[in-house]
Chain A
Amino acid sequence: MILEARNISKSYGSLEVLKNVTIECHKGKIYGLIGANGAGKTTLFRILLGLIKQDCGSIEIDSQGIKPIGGIVEKPALYGYLSAFGNLKVFAQIQGLKLTKELYSQSMQQVGLSTKRTDVVKNYSLGMKQRLGLAIALLNNPECIVLDEPFSGLDPMGIIALHELIKKLSSQKQITIIISSHIVKELTDLCDTLYVLNEGEIIKKGPSAELLNASVTTYKIVGNNLEMSEVLQSINAIFSNKSAFVSPKTMSITEILQKLIEEGQEVTACIPQTDLKALFGGGKI
């Protein structure tokens, strides 16, 4: 185990932000932390990264490196008046690293950034800042990386690129990655294990696919003329723009799809809809 946070609690006055939170992370795996706004995700990450102190509980990181853990909390915070080189130079220097040309090229290439840009970072897009923030987090080769809402504010292409980068870091460099996100789909595709945090407590944990499947109550069926289907009408499907939303009760989704095919309906897609309320334990979304 590379990281173990046990029974972490944190309060601000009478407000209990985290209550006995325990998470365990293994080398080279990707972990997702999901929860509604105010569930305590960022507070937990700040504690893991040592920015704030927990009231009680312990954190153990099994690493002999200079920098056991790195990360980005919320948006990447960089020196806007410096170039990418300047930023990497400052953050390398403060941890005793000399930013050689080789290290600069390697750091930039690792996160898919060009070394040709010499302008100041305030001109960069959010996606580029995320990448540069990640390059800084990766300086001194931490064995664990914490990324708080890394997809927030990124365009679809940016999300795909970051997604691939995170997978590469996990598989090729065996870095343990802990991510929080509101975007359930991103975490499902990316994470091996999910933790669900609700009102400061871990209410669910387990393999991502299992956890999300258990929270699927509705399916979106896409096809032509679905409104005409007697099968869908009989199970009170809700129709909307060439789609039907069904919540199987008397029969399974497999049976519904089979009957639709028998009926001669052309079904082009069947997308499980995660019930976020069920997943988040009824918290505010």
Chain B
Amino acid sequence: MISLIRSEIYKIRKQSKTLYALAAILIIEGFVIVSAYYQGTGIIDLLLANLKDSFEFKGNLLNGNLIIYLILNSLWFHIPLILMIIISGFLTSEYKDRTLETVLLQPVSKLNFILSKYIVSIVFTLLIVLLLAVSTFFVSYWIFGRGDLVVYLDGLNFFESDEAFYRLIYAFISGANSMIFFSVVSLTLAVILKDATKTWIVSAIFLICSNLLLKIDFQNEFLNELFFSKLTDSWQYFFYYKIPYSTIYFKNFMLFGYTLITMIIGIIIFKRRDIQL
């Protein structure tokens, strides 16, 4: 198993698409930073237009913490989309190039092979989120400095700089769990669909629907609390004035359960299917 994981990591390191994924993430990050640099004051003014009549603000609200929060919001769509494309490609490229056949012609069990794909996908996802977090903190603080964070979430919430720092870190950690869910879903879709283009389309639709369903009230308590799409936003809860830890733990725990179930479904399908490309 370890040797399979190591060979998967070796393949990922040698593939140019890995570099494209890293570049895409850094470009998104850079784009947010550049936009904020040139238009940031305008955004803050718009956000605080009404409050400025009643309150006096001291210090610069366009600071590193706000930029990190803006980049963190790429966890809604951009980052999971890139992850889903790259991670489904870990398997669809093996189907397309028929290397899956060559791998399974060696004394390798199908279970260990697909399990190693899932494990490497999860590790890859964590590393991407870590890269995003570290580079975001580093660049944002370096260019914009630290300061209090203002966030609009059911109203304006203000956090002091130190508090904002740990809330942002926790949000990245919680967001990583959501990213793992989307990555595992994309790999399972790759197991089912085999073809890269079909998997990308279905993954994108899944992501869009998941985001849309998050906003819909199902008029049913069970669905509103337990349906998977309602569980992917726990990282946002760190920006409520009082952090609802129990809700965050519950959502993350349930989402991890969905991740495991999705993974098990993928493993069962892969194991049962003939290798016919």
Contact = CB atoms under 8 A, between A and B. Distances in A.
B232 to A, nearest CB: 33
A79 B99 contact: yes
Contact of A94 (B15, B108, B274, B275): B108
A235 to B, nearest CB: 50
Nearest to B277: A77
B275 to A, nearest CB: 4
B107 A93 contact: no
Interface residues of B, number: 25
A89 B275 CA distance: 23
A71 B97 CA distance: 17
A187 interface: no
Nearest to B116: A94
A53 B110 CA distance: 13
A81 B104 contact: no
A78 B6 contact: no
Interface of B is mostly: helix
A52 B276 contact: yes
A2 interface: no
B14 A81 contact: yes
Interface in A219-264: none
B82 to A, nearest CB: 20
With a 10 A CB-CB cut-off, give which of B99, B104, B107 has the most chain A CB atoms.
Answer: B107
Given A81-B14, A90-B7, A76 B102 contact: yes
A93 B107 CA distance: 11
10 contacts: A52-B274, A76-B102, A77-B97, A77-B99, A78-B97, A90-B10, A93-B7, A95-B3, A95-B108, A140-B107
Contacts of A79: 11, 14, 97, 99
A139 to B, nearest CB: 7
A285 B104 CA distance: 31
B98 interface: yes
